[in-house]
Every structure is written in structure tokens, then in C-alpha cells.
Amino acid sequence: MPTQTSSAHFFLSWAKERIDEMDATLASLENKSAQMQAETRVKADKCIAEMKKKRNEFESTVKAQAEAGEGAWDSAKERLETELKGFQVETGKYLETFGKGLEQQQAVFQSQVTAQLNAWRETADKLSAAGKEFAIERRREIDATVSRMMADAVVAEKKLQDLARAGTESWSALNAALTETRANFDRANQAAREAFKKATSTSQAQ
């Protein structure tokens, strides 16, 4: 896994995790809007269309930066985080306007939890497979980093599922929990990125 390729992988993993969460949110909202009465559904669908627009803008930014260097990715992340927050604000507004009690809030939260945890596992599996390209002595740190990522995923899953089962938290609290575990995923992803860089530079030096 050359350095440039591995770096691109980490940027795309970072972005894909967020796109998957947005897609899960939209799918959950569309499922519920289909059950609404006609007049309410028209208003709800209009809000969902605006959220889809934000999601597509996010993906367009990712695609535009995918071939750029690491410096461009770092600056793009700031813009993308702002776009993600805009999507999250719209999600909160939607739930306040159209959500029926805690039921839809919990459905959206559970869909986001599933998407986030799937991203953890998918990334760990890909990193583990990529790490096998290195000689044994160079992939030890990579394997250890992937193991830590999976352990962190288990902790994140317990925390998020406990909140989902409780069913009593406000949307802001649920969103804050997802933000925290997403940040943990980012740190694990960054640690793996550094481990790959180190392994790659060591290989090239020999």
C-alpha cells in the first residue's frame, strides 16, 4: 500500500463514514414520511429534499478532493465538517416539526448507530487486509492499531446501544453521543494512517 494510496484511503474512509450516516438518516425519514397524510407529507418531503441536497454537496466536495494531496484533504475536512453540521441541524429541525414523540427520533438514531458501527468494522477489515501486504515485522504496529480500533468499536457500540435502549435522551444528547464516538473513530483512523506511513517509509528505506 503506497503512501499516497494509503493516505487517500483514510480520507475516503473518514468521508464515507459520514455519508453513510447521512444516507441512513434520509432512509429512516423517508420511510416514516411515506406513512404521513398527504399535506404533511408534502412539507416533510420538501425538508428531506433539502437534506438530500446537503448530502450531495458533501459527496461532491469529497469527490473533488479525492485526487488532491494531504494538505488539500486537511483543509477540505474543515469545510466538510461544516456541511455535516448543517445536515445535522436540518435533521433536528425535521424531528422537531414532524417527529411523533420519541419513536422517530429513536429510529433515526438507531439507523445512524448502525451506519457508524458498520463503518468502524468495514474500515478495520480493509486495514487488516492491507496490512498483510507488509512483512511481518513491519505490520505488527498496524495489527495492533487495527485491534485497538475494533476494541474502541466495541466500547462505542455499547455506549450507543445503551442510549438507544433507554429511549429517554433528548435528540441533542443522542447527537452528542454520536459526535463523540465519531471523533473516536477519527482518532483510530488517524492512528492507523500513521502506522501505515511508518511501515511504508521503513519498507522504502530498505
Q: Is 82 exposed, middle or buried (0-12, 13-18, 19+ CB in 10 A)?
A: exposed
Contact at 8 Å (CB) between 94 and 68?
Answer: no
| Confidence at residue 199, expressed as pLDDT on a 0 to 100 scale | 78
CB 112 within 8 A of CB 21: yes
Q: Cα separation of 136 and 120, whole Å?
A: 24
Residue 107: C-alpha distances to residues 14, 35, 151, 187 (Å): 24, 14, 26, 27
Q: Indicate the domain borders of the chain.
A: 3-205
Contact 90, 51 (CB under 8 A): yes
On whether the CB atoms of residues 139 and 132 are closer than 8 A, the answer is: yes
Q: What is the pLDDT of residue 155?
A: 92
Any idea which residue has 501505515 for its cell? 196
Percent pLDDT > 90 in the chain is 39
Q: Tell me what the mean pLDDT of segment 156-164 comes to.
A: 89
Note the pTM of the prediction, 2 decimals.
0.86
Cα separation of the two ends of the chain? 16
Total number of residues shown for the chain: 206
Residue of higher predicted confidence among 115 and 193: 115
Question: pLDDT (tens digit, 9 = 90+) per residue, 12-42?
Answer: 889 999 999 999 999 999 998 888 888 899 9
User: With bands split at pLDDT 50, 70 and 90, how would you rate the model's confidence at 94?
Assistant: very high
Q: What angle do CA 165, 167, 171 make, to 5 degrees?
A: 125
pLDDT tens per residue across span 38-53: 889 999 999 999 999 9
